[in-house]
Amino acid sequence: MKAPRPPRQGLVIVNTGNGKGKTTAALGVLFRAWGRDLRVIMLQFLKYEGARFGEIRAAEKIGVTIRPIGDGFTWTSRDMESTIALARHGWEEAKRLITSHNYDVVILDEFTYPLHFGWLETAAVVAWLQAHKPPSLHLIITGRDAPSELIAYADLVTEMREIKHPWTLQGLTAQPGIDF
């Protein structure tokens, strides 16, 4: 007789650092989880609503939701109040998804930026997650400059470190299918 499988323990995973690959790593987990019949969703905190990047197109083809909820790159915002409001609204939506019990994996892509810039209070976010994240839910958070409180809370933290980049060395811009 087989021993019963232990209940799934949901992990909090943070992909951070200045190197490329944070979102790509999260998408790898999304695809792997989907392949195991887990229910997955991704909110993208910087990409603008209506964006049609490659990962969004691919996700649509397999029936996975990736929702851009930002207004583009924060450092080019012409209306910072609107940008901050979108991030705060995105966090409210994230809380709804996390507690909905409709998903096994929730990915908050580029979520470290609203924390790093102080648009959301990191201690309050971590406290909310500690109190409300279902024990079996896997939560993945990506972005540069992950705050120390988030790193301390996470079960797994990976730092992507840039060693060499085509922009800095050759002036090459982002490549379709590779970067977006």
Active-site residue among 23, 83, 112, 142?
23
Residue 174 CB neighbour total at 10 angstroms: 10
How many residues appear in the chain? 180
Active-site residue among 20, 67, 95, 144?
20
Q: Is 22 a catalytic residue?
A: yes
Q: Is 23 a catalytic residue?
A: yes
Q: Is 110 a catalytic residue?
A: yes
Active-site residue among 8, 18, 49, 102?
18
Active-site residue among 61, 75, 164, 173?
75
Active-site residue among 16, 91, 110, 112?
110
Q: Is 31 a catalytic residue?
A: no
d(CA 83, CA 89): 10
Active-site residue among 49, 57, 73, 162?
73
Q: Is 24 a catalytic residue?
A: yes
d(CA 120, CA 127): 12
Q: Is 111 a catalytic residue?
A: no
Q: Is 95 a catalytic residue?
A: no
Active-site residue among 24, 65, 99, 158?
24
71's CB contacts (< 8 A; 6+ apart) are: 48, 49, 77, 79, 82, 83, 86
Token match 């790193």: residue? 151
Q: Is 73 a catalytic residue?
A: yes
Q: Is 20 a catalytic residue?
A: yes
DSSP states of 94-140 as a string?
A: HHHHHHSSS-SEEEEETTHHHHHTTSS-HHHHHHHHHHHS-TT-EEE
Report which of 5, 17, 19 is spatially closest to residue 165, judged by C-alpha positions. Answer: 19
- Residues identified as active-site: 18, 20, 22-24, 32, 73, 75, 110
